[in-house]
Amino acid sequence: MTPQNPKFVSADEAVIVVKSGDHVHLSSVASAPKVLIDALCRRGDSGELRNVFIHHLHTEGSAPYTESRYEGIFQHHAFFVGGNVRKAVQAGYADYIPVFLGETQKLYRSGTLPCNVVMIQVSPPDRHGYVSLGTSVDATLAAIECAEHVVAVVNRHVPRAFGDAMIHQSRIHLFVAHDAPLEEAHFTEPTPAEYAIGKHCAALIEDGATLQMGIGSIPNAVLSQLGNHKNLGVHTEMFADGVLNLVKAGVVNCVAKKIDTGKIVSTFLMGSQEVYDFIDDNPMVAMMDVGYTNNPFIIAKNPRVTAINSALQVDLTGQVCADSLGTTFYSGVGGQVDFIYGASLSKGGKAIIAMPSVTNKGVSKITPVLTLGAGVVTTRSHIHWLVTEYGAVNLYGKSLQERAKLMIGIAHPDHREALDRAAFERFGPHYYFAGTI
């Protein structure tokens, strides 16, 4: 079906295109089309639908289609376990497809997953008929290319972002007019431990580096320490408010990047309204397809790529668990491996895993072995730098016993003796004589 003259309809009329057994993609994070989600759930309440598959990355706001009352009506198979679906996934009323973030678009383009309907939010058309996907390009562009029906909420609050976010209105079959502010994300002030982590990470970042980091307290703590750096760039999967002050100060100007010089490159974002205002009509920001932003070989084209990601647990050999607490899924693979590998291929690049040494309950996050059932996201052969509030160590090229010693040195002091004893029991008496390079 090739759209010619997209027409405006109500949300309830728009979701009639969804049939039982269809696969529906929702745009992600701040761009989740809430008015269409609510209309789809009303249709689910009518008893007309069965086994409709819902796909998306992390979405902000509620996710009513994962409620137990929709069992057999909506099948939630998302590419990431966000906070709004976590309990449903853990209870079995929703599910998760493990996939590298960079390959989420490939699921559609390769035909691995069908896409019957895509529901998005866009900015109003400009005088040339172009709309913008705003804060969510990621796998949504691939879904638009493959979908039988494209339904778009036209919302004046969606920022007019450039790059792959720009599409012509002729690619949209149905428009729904609905102006509502985008969901905002606000983050707590970093703790003293997180500020210490930020300081250690900032010391590893060189002038002219290209940064990738997620959102939250630790990335904000890192960014707050970079005021005296020069000529930093950004090529990332997402960014939030922490980047803005560095742009205003001229610290982030992207002039040292070898590709996309002068541009901040991202595939989706979330934050305050200030972030959404920042990307609106801003040629410095290129919102790109996730197959581009998260391609390790594209990432590696920039020099000194410094990728900072987090973890739930790391064992003494360097295996990184970042998606589950034992057998309980907490988040997802995301783009961690994409950027860890890309940074390691970059000339002068640094791949960093940064995390507090203990959980909120005081349990060590550096462990002799991963909890039974925990998933390895970054393997022991991928890991380079590990950072806690007690320091930074480079595990690349180190033996198992050397790694254990280095990691124990940045573990919480309350747990070092037990970890040292566990390492001795694992590696034998030679452990105490193993040197470091």
- Cα 429 to Cα 239: distance, rounded to the nearest angstrom: 47
User: What sign results for the dihedral spanned by CA atoms 157, 161, 164, 168?
Assistant: positive
The H or E element spanning position 324 is strand 324-325
- Give yes or no: 189 in active site: no
- Strands across the sheet containing 320-321: 320-321, 313-315, 366-367
Amino acid 358 reads: V
Question: Which of 346, 321, 310, 334 lies closest to 235 in space, CA to CA?
Answer: 346
DSSP label at residue 124: P
- Cα 254 to Cα 210: distance, rounded to the nearest angstrom: 8
Tokens coding 312: 């739930």
- Residue 313 dihedral angles phi and psi, to the nearest 5°: -165, 145
- Cα 217 to Cα 11: distance, rounded to the nearest angstrom: 37
Contact 72, 48 (CB under 8 A): no
Pairing relation of β-strands 313-315 and 305-309?
A: unpaired
Name the catalytic one among 103, 194, 237, 389.
237
Pairing relation of β-strands 174-177 and 23-26?
A: unpaired
The residues that are catalytic are 237
